[in-house]
Structure 1
Amino acid sequence: MTSDVACRRPVAILADDLSGAAEAASAFLGRLSAPALHLGPADVRFDGVTVVDLNTRALATTHAQNALRSALEAIPSDALVLAKVDSLLRGHVGPWAEVLAERGPVVVAAALPALGRTVRAGVLHVEGVPLHQTRAWHAELSSPPASFADLFADHPTVTTSPTANLADSLRQAAAGGRIAVCDVATDADLDLVLAASRSIPGVQLMGTSALAAAVARTLPTGTDGVAPRRESPLLLTVVGTAEPVAVQQVTELVRTGTRHLALDADDLLDGLADPGDLARALEDGSVVLTVASAVRPDRTDAVSVALARFVAAGQSRRRPDLMLTGGATARAVVDAIGLTTLHPVDQVHHGAVVSVASDGRTVVTRPGSFGDLFSLTDIARHLAEPLTVRTQPKALT
């Protein structure tokens, strides 16, 4: 599906964490124009497709809202705005929607069908189970919302379905000042939502990377501006996620010959972990870095920052490429080593996005809950391959 209107219109994607921002940016691989991923809104030109990580997931609500307001002020009035939110609705989804509603109509389509995350009757389902009945929020300090109506409790909403009169339903919601929450089961449903929303002047979208992919499908194919990537003989994998599958993923990666360095959370927070241990380990080859002890939910952000400082101080003179899992950890690490932009060039599997960083190294980001048992192993193998295969990304369909 290609639209001349969409091709001429700037697209501004604002994300609340780094791995999600990269996931959204990767949806435009093989499309014109290839987006850069900016690590903050300062000095960003919103033309073509622009993706910005506002890094608000862990902020207080008011600060998260103010960061979004500030970014929106810099976006041209003719741009299509997409607020990229977590596919499990973590973070400040409701408060962000409030900010968008101050500016104009809001259409929410927050499904990720590729991972079995769908919306039915205004309720997010994970593999057919309502979100609030799963353990998806086991590492969070709060409980998941039972429905989008609960999530947007401070603003009137209306639930719509991808039917023949969807455009009329969305226009009526906008005219009544209501946030339109769209039921979505498939990527085709997202295409319908996007097409129907275009009839609403000033509409703003809120959703996952799947909605970003729907926008990308309206753009022409092409590979102009794709940055070159080097092979990655030395790789530092930093696992900063509390997801249980990550332990198994690390075990499989170690079986392939990657050295495992596990750190105690208290040692990190107290500054007792020696970055020299990492530097020495990297002299012998690729390393996977984890936090060995359990981390309380109220300490995860502080541990991520401490882990990032450890990485920055322990980089060997060979400057390894990076594989970063978990949005908070990924952002903390790239900040600690001074990166300013990422240019997505490939995707190993859904959400595992390969980028060329502002300092030339390769950086892979991946949400903590994504990937099967062999995710980290597959990423490492992909990065080590000679660049004679898949040198140009294909458009994602």
Structure 2
Amino acid sequence: MTELAVAIVADDLTGAMDAAAPFARRGARTSVVIALERLAEVIAQGDLPEVLAVNTESRHLPADQAARRVAEAIERLLPLAPQILFKKVDSTLRGNVVAECLAARRSSGRGLLVCPAVPAQGRTLRGGQVYVHGEPLASSDYGRDARSAPPAEPLPTLFGHEGLAFPVIPAGTVPDESDAIVDAVSETDLKALAQRLLEEPWRWLVVGAAGLTEALSDSLFPTPAESVPLTPPMDSLLFAVGSRCDQARRQVDHLCDAVPGLPVIHAMDDDMARPDPARLRLIVPERQPSARFTAEQVAQGMARCIGELLLMSGHAPLLFLTGGDTAMAVLERVGVRQIVLAGEWAPGVAWGWLDGERDRPVMTKAGGFGDDALLARLGQASTTRG
């Protein structure tokens, strides 16, 4: 059996993917179990990867239910004796961050070391407060998230409400305390923290996002394997953009400008999914953004539309899924158990193969990740390679 170097527990699918992807890019055998209900089955198969992530799909659940799911995931992973036990949280603190961290703390018996910074995406941590491109989290676009608005208070205050004193530690240092929040404003800070963590990894349940897993991958797997493919097959590409955040909308606009005549299907406007010879296609919820549908309705509508297209097309295009709810709904509809990761196409854009089948490629991205032109670059790359 392969020694498990890293076990990751994430509250949504795209988070599990982007946290695990840096390890795959460096040649580590890496898998993402798409749902907690599939974890026991994957473990029982044996031949575990070096990095195993599981999605508890708990971001939008009531806090007590989310805590129970995280505790179950930790309890299933601990017997595998991972070198690093990692609780992935949203870098903008959406979801049940405190409840899930405390559940993981109780189940693991380890202290929490919290650092959700992703400096490469403009998310930094100063004084225990999250900033997005230099702006306090509460006043950023993420502060207006329709389904899961982040808290307005800094992390020490949030944990303090639960009766826990979490000191804020300077960047790059590991505390003597049993629990702590570590500031980070640069990738250098995260690399220094990762190196210190690996001196005594068993002390901590590490809480963070893709910024810290990137730094840990650099320390654990310093020499990328030459055989790792760097780009996915893109002879046929289906964009499915279910996220309705402002950044995802800007990315769609740039994609449509960059690829004139791009076929667009509007999943919630009763468009009929139909075969289309175009190699590049886009599915979005509506012609005009509105509040007519809940996030769950959008995710299920997108999944239905994509499922119909896949059945009619006779082949599997590269699926590009953005938005954790949409990605999860699509994968459940097509009956996927896990994704074997190959790496990243760009920071925050993970890709791999559905159930390890090389003719079923998939790529995921959290809705708010990436610059405005990210989808346009991917679309143009597909067109050029075709």
Q: Same fold judged by TM-score > 0.5?
A: yes
**Shift, 1:43, TM fit:** 2.3
Distance (whole Å) between structure 2 residues aligned to residue 23 and residue 242 of structure 1: 19
Aligned residue for 2:139? 133
What CA deviation, in whole Å up to 9, does each residue of 1:28-63 have, x standing for no partner?
134352312221323233652112222222222222
**Shift, 1:250, TM fit:** 2.1
Aligned residue for 1:331? 328
Note if 1:289 corresponds to 2:283.
Answer: yes
**Shift, 1:123, TM fit:** 0.6
Distance (whole Å) between structure 1 residues aligned to residue 231 and residue 171 of structure 2: 43
Distance (whole Å) between structure 1 residues aligned to residue 227 and residue 52 of structure 2: 13
Tell me: CA distance 1:160–1:239, structure 2 relative to 1, closer, same or farther (3 Å). same
Distance (whole Å) between structure 1 residues aligned to residue 27 and residue 335 of structure 2: 28
Note if 1:149 corresponds to 2:147.
Answer: no
Distance (whole Å) between structure 2 residues aligned to residue 340 and residue 15 of structure 1: 16
Tell me: CA distance 1:26–1:384, structure 2 relative to 1, closer, same or farther (3 Å). farther
**Shift, 1:306, TM fit:** 2.5
Distance (whole Å) between structure 1 residues aligned to residue 165 and residue 302 of structure 2: 41
Note if 1:99 corresponds to 2:91.
Answer: no
**Secondary structure of the equivalent of 1:217?**
helix
What CA deviation, in whole Å up to 9, does each residue of 1:89-114 have, x standing for no partner?
11111111111221321100110111
What CA deviation, in whole Å up to 9, does each residue of 1:365-393 have, x standing for no partner?
11111222221122233445659xxxxxx
**Shift, 1:309, TM fit:** 2.0
Note if 1:202 corresponds to 2:203.
Answer: yes
> Percentage identity across aligned positions?
25
Aligned residue for 2:346? 349
1:311-390 alignment to 2 at 5 Å?
311-315=306-310, 316-358=313-355, 359=357, 360-383=359-382, 386=385
**Shift, 1:298, TM fit:** 8.1
Unaligned runs of 5+ in 2: none
**Shift, 1:319, TM fit:** 3.1
Distance (whole Å) between structure 2 residues aligned to residue 229 and residue 372 of structure 1: 19
**Shift, 1:288, TM fit:** 0.5
**Secondary structure of the equivalent of 1:36?**
strand
**Secondary structure of the equivalent of 2:250?**
helix
Say which of 6, 11, 15 aligns to 2:10.
15
CA contact (8 A) 1:159 1:183 kept: no
CA contact (8 A) 1:162 1:193 kept: no
CA contact (8 A) 1:327 1:368 kept: yes
Q: CA RMSD in A?
A: 2.7
Distance (whole Å) between structure 2 residues aligned to residue 202 and residue 47 of structure 1: 23
Distance (whole Å) between structure 1 residues aligned to residue 230 and residue 139 of structure 2: 44
CA contact (8 A) 1:240 1:291 kept: yes
CA contact (8 A) 2:22 2:343 kept: no
Say which of 224, 241, 246 aligns to 1:239.
241
Distance (whole Å) between structure 1 residues aligned to residue 215 and residue 137 of structure 2: 23
Aligned residue for 1:61? 63
Tell me: CA distance 1:380–1:338, structure 2 relative to 1, closer, same or farther (3 Å). farther
**Secondary structure of the equivalent of 1:44?**
helix
CA contact (8 A) 1:228 1:356 kept: no
Tell me: CA distance 1:385–1:36, structure 2 relative to 1, closer, same or farther (3 Å). farther
1:189-228 alignment to 2 at 5 Å?
189-197=189-197, 198-199=199-200, 201-220=202-221, 221-223=223-225, 226=228
Aligned residue for 1:262? 266
**Shift, 1:245, TM fit:** 3.1
**Shift, 1:340, TM fit:** 1.9
**Shift, 1:140, TM fit:** 2.9
**Shift, 1:72, TM fit:** 0.9
**Secondary structure of the equivalent of 1:137?**
helix
Aligned residue for 1:3? none
**Shift, 1:216, TM fit:** 0.6
Distance (whole Å) between structure 1 residues aligned to residue 141 and residue 256 of structure 2: 28
**Secondary structure of the equivalent of 2:346?**
coil
**AA in 1 matched with 2:205:** Q
**Shift, 1:161, TM fit:** 2.8
Say which of 258, 278, 299 aligns to 2:273.
278
**Shift, 1:158, TM fit:** 2.3
* Poorly superposed stretches of 4+, deviation over 4 Å: 224-230, 383-387
**AA in 1 matched with 2:157:** D
**Shift, 1:227, TM fit:** 7.2
CA contact (8 A) 2:142 2:150 kept: no
CA contact (8 A) 1:93 1:151 kept: no
Unaligned runs of 5+ in 1: 1-6, 268-272, 388-397
Aligned residue for 2:305? 310
Note if 1:111 corresponds to 2:117.
Answer: yes
Note if 1:84 corresponds to 2:88.
Answer: yes
User: TM-score scaled by structure 1?
Assistant: 0.82
What CA deviation, in whole Å up to 9, does each residue of 1:293-332 have, x standing for no partner?
4454981123212321222123222332211111111111
Tell me: CA distance 1:184–1:155, structure 2 relative to 1, closer, same or farther (3 Å). farther
Tell me: CA distance 1:137–1:194, structure 2 relative to 1, closer, same or farther (3 Å). same
